[in-house]
Amino acid sequence: MAPALAAEASEESMESITVVGKSVSYANNQTSDEMMKQQTSMTSVLAAIDNLPGVLINEGDTFGADDWSTSISIRGFQVDLSQQQIGMTVDGIANGNSNYGGGAKANRYIDTENLARVDVSQGTADIASRSHEALGGTLDFVTLMPGVDERLVVSATLAEFDGRKFFARYETGEIAKDTFAWFSVSNQESSDWMDQTAENVRDHFAAKVISTIGDVNLTAYASYDDTHEDNYQRIYGLSQFEQNSNWDQLTSEWTGIPYQDQAYRRGWSTLRENFFTYLKADFTVGEVAFSTNVYYHNNEGRGDWVPPYLVNVTDDGEGVGHSEVVSGNTVYGGDILGQIFFVDRAGVQLSPIDGCVSSISFPYGGAGAEYDPGCHEQGAIPVGSYRTTNYEKSRIGINGDFIWDARIADMDNTLRGGFWYEDYTRDETRSWQKIIDSATSYRFDETPYWVQYDREFPVETTMFYLEDQLDLGFAKAHFGIKQFFVDVSKNDRFNAINDQGVSSDSDLLFSAGFVAPLPVTGLEMFAGFAQNYASIKDAVLERDDSDLSLVKPETADNFDLGLRFSSRDVSASLTYYATKFDDRINFVSNETVTGIDFLESAAGGYINDGGIESTGFEASLSYQLSENFSVYGSYTSNDSEYTDAEYLGNGVIGAAEQMGVVSIDWVRGNHYAGLSTKYVGERWMNQANTAAVEAYTVSDFYLGTSIDDLGSSVESIEINLTINNLFDESYLGTVATNAAWIGAPRTVALNLKAAF
């Protein structure tokens, strides 16, 4: 069975996959080969789905080399710094939340060149999907299957902004009876597109094995990803963008003035290591097909900032040097006594000159006299901190599914069900390290002078589902039920009085739908309804002053109604959808235009903030014009509005009302090219709808050729040129409350790939 499985997988990865998805009761689409070609091999796997109807992906640069600025929007649901409302899986396995602080999106698990396809369910989604973030659909990123033949694929990419990537994948062929595998390795580097000062580095290792033992098909996958990203920063308000559309207010040079150096780009960093592995078994017992897997995931890393002061956490007495200035002293927890900005050579805190008015005007509109070296006597020594939030998460889980095909009263009936169990613990600490010499660099003492907190978040998830599908002849109808049981806790290792926990169980969730063929050959109608749910995340428990009685799980009702058509040269879909999203959990940020509350001393936390209602249409069309030319188009009309009393009827932040894509692709022999253009309509920047991000249009171009039959040692050589944002459109990408990240400029990349 394994040789057939490998051959089938190899063919699947090579053929053009239609964007019109499976014949099911909900809207779904798949990426195509052409969509993959529009992106460079350095690009994040998230970018591959941007042309599908209803989907908007924004990243800080073309390569997706910054999780901080990344967002996904589908039908008014968002994944960004503060919201996780769209489910994400890897080969059908839960990704472990998509949040910045301890979560991981699919780009942490998969190298772009190992991606077979992405299955996108925009709304109701499949009942078996493993996620407790899937309020508005799911994204399943499917890895490439091993091929039958032994081969080596090597690839080198050179791009603008110091971009380069080296990739190699060895496909073993049959290494043992009915056993096939591949192993890959890659190294990637780039800088930021604004000043070319960022140091973005990514190392990725992965392997996949398939085998048949008796009547059991086994699949195993493992990946390790080590990433260092220097972030892009949001700009606040439209005036900053109008003033300079190529600068995010982070600096490239160290000034020696701590207040200004809090905006130093290399001090805004995300470091993550992710190891993920699973083992899957598929087998049949009698008339029942079973599929089960176990998986393990470990995530660790940190997020960095550069506060322009030391925190005074030790009462050293009057007129003596502060112990925070001396290396080797660490305080765990405790109270904040104040901030230290300048000291003398003995480490004694200095006060600014009476009546001095600061001349510092950047960033955040300027600073007070305590931050300004010009307001201190000559010889004052600036001091500052390097603050790291340190994350570690370990997940272990098991999934089980069954499918039983039978007949009821001469009608085909399929009963399927399954479960998902996951246990994880996320650790989070925050450390403050003294910058060794704030006058000269951001290098810091590796021994912290203060560990602000140390806490762990155990989370246990159990999900069950059951669905029955009956073929009535004129239609296939299904009905399903699903329920989650989620327990979330916090254990404070410094102060047990802050321990807390919450049960985040769902109600019984119902889904139903049908698919009915129509009299026109290849045309079918579908309709689906599902109650979706997102659990309370452990991040809600982070703040010690969180009142969990004010927070409950998010819920959403999703309805799809549509038509789907498929023929030899044409495939098309049209979907009307309506969603009602209740009990939206919203984070009240502690970062504003006036600066960052590094100590989190201001009020901030998570609350249920009303809800959202969305209605709209999604359409897609693929048409093979001739032997050489094909065209693809998608259109989205979306109306997402808040339902809470204060902003009732106002448009949702970051949700585009109109989106459209047109792609033309050309193939002649071994040569190919394509041009794709996407329009994104106006998006609101605030709930009051008093400021909006302008519409934008970006185009991506690719051109390539392959040379085959080069002899016994070389199977093929491919050369690919990719130009993203071809016409260098200036625009705003990810949108947050009263803020947005600047979109990536034109980026050119050249890739050379060889197979042996």
Q: Provide the domain limits for residue 101.
A: 2-142
Residue 756 token pair = 């042996």
The pLDDT of residue 327 is above 70: yes
Residue 474's CB is within 10 A of a number of other CB atoms, namely: 9
Tell whether 32 and 147 lie within a shared domain: no
Tell whether 565 and 546 lie within a shared domain: yes
Looking at the domain assignment, is residue 431 inside a domain?
A: yes
Please state, in angstroms and as integers, the Cα–Cα distance from residue 8 to each residue in 3, 220, 289, following that order: 8, 17, 19
pLDDT score recorded for residue 7: 39
| Distance of alpha carbon 703 from alpha carbon 588, whole angstroms | 45
Round the average pLDDT of the chain to a whole number and report it: 93
Looking at the domain assignment, is residue 700 inside a domain?
A: yes
pLDDT score recorded for residue 295: 98
pLDDT score recorded for residue 136: 83
The label of the residue with tokens 């390795």 reads 185
In this structure, are residues 146 and 169 in contact, taking their beta carbons and an 8 Å threshold? no
Residue 305's CB is within 10 A of a number of other CB atoms, namely: 17
| Count of domains observed in the chain | 2
Higher pLDDT, 100 or 298: 298
In this structure, are residues 117 and 555 in contact, taking their beta carbons and an 8 Å threshold? no
pLDDT score recorded for residue 385: 98
Q: Among 64, 67, 119, 66, which Cα is nearest to 90's?
A: 119
pLDDT score recorded for residue 17: 39
Q: Count H helices and E strands in the chain, helices first.
A: 4, 45
Tell whether 157 and 188 lie within a shared domain: yes
Q: Which of 142, 168, 190 is the last residue of a domain?
A: 142
pLDDT class of 546 with cuts at 50, 70, 90: confident
The pLDDT of residue 284 is above 70: yes
Q: Which of 142, 177, 197 is the last residue of a domain?
A: 142
Looking at the domain assignment, is residue 331 inside a domain?
A: no
Tell whether 124 and 178 lie within a shared domain: no
Looking at the domain assignment, is residue 90 inside a domain?
A: yes
Q: What is the mean pLDDT of residues 710-729?
A: 93
Looking at the domain assignment, is residue 566 inside a domain?
A: yes
669: left (phi over 0), alpha (psi -120 to 50) or beta: left
CATH number of the structural domain spanning residue 704: 2.40.170.20
Tell whether 138 and 202 lie within a shared domain: no
Q: Among 532, 461, 489, which Cα is nearest to 87's?
A: 532
CATH number of the structural domain spanning residue 99: 2.170.130.10
The pLDDT tens digits for 663-684 are 999 999 999 999 999 999 999 9
Looking at the domain assignment, is residue 315 inside a domain?
A: no
Low-confidence winner among 342-351, 548-557, 605-614, 649-658 (lowest mean pLDDT): 605-614
Tell whether 261 and 410 lie within a shared domain: yes
Q: What is the mean pLDDT of residues 704-733?
A: 93
The pLDDT of residue 701 is above 90: yes
The pLDDT of residue 433 is above 90: yes
Q: Which of 78, 112, 142 is the last residue of a domain?
A: 142
Q: What percent of the chain has pLDDT over 70?
A: 95
Whole-prediction pTM: 0.94
Looking at the domain assignment, is residue 642 inside a domain?
A: yes
Tell whether 120 and 236 lie within a shared domain: no
The pLDDT of residue 604 is above 70: no
Low-confidence winner among 318-322, 482-486, 521-525 (lowest mean pLDDT): 318-322
CA 606 to chain centre: 20
In this structure, are residues 708 and 716 in contact, taking their beta carbons and an 8 Å threshold? yes
CA 30 to chain centre: 18
Tell whether 160 and 12 lie within a shared domain: no
Tell whether 543 and 395 lie within a shared domain: yes
Tell whether 66 and 76 lie within a shared domain: yes
Q: Among 435, 739, 441, which Cα is nearest to 592's?
A: 739
Tell whether 558 and 661 lie within a shared domain: yes
pLDDT score recorded for residue 4: 42
Q: What is the mean pLDDT of residues 569-573?
A: 96
The pLDDT of residue 544 is above 90: no
Q: What is the mean pLDDT of residues 695-705?
A: 98
pLDDT class of 601 with cuts at 50, 70, 90: low
Tell whether 131 and 212 lie within a shared domain: no
Please state, in angstroms and as integers, the Cα–Cα distance from residue 647 to each residue in 75, 582, 687, following that order: 19, 14, 7
Higher pLDDT, 53 or 610: 53
pLDDT score recorded for residue 108: 96
Looking at the domain assignment, is residue 722 inside a domain?
A: no
| Distance of alpha carbon 413 from alpha carbon 416, whole angstroms | 10
Q: Which residues pair with 189 in a beta bridge?
A: 164, 201
Largest separation between any pair of C-alpha atoms in the chain: 94
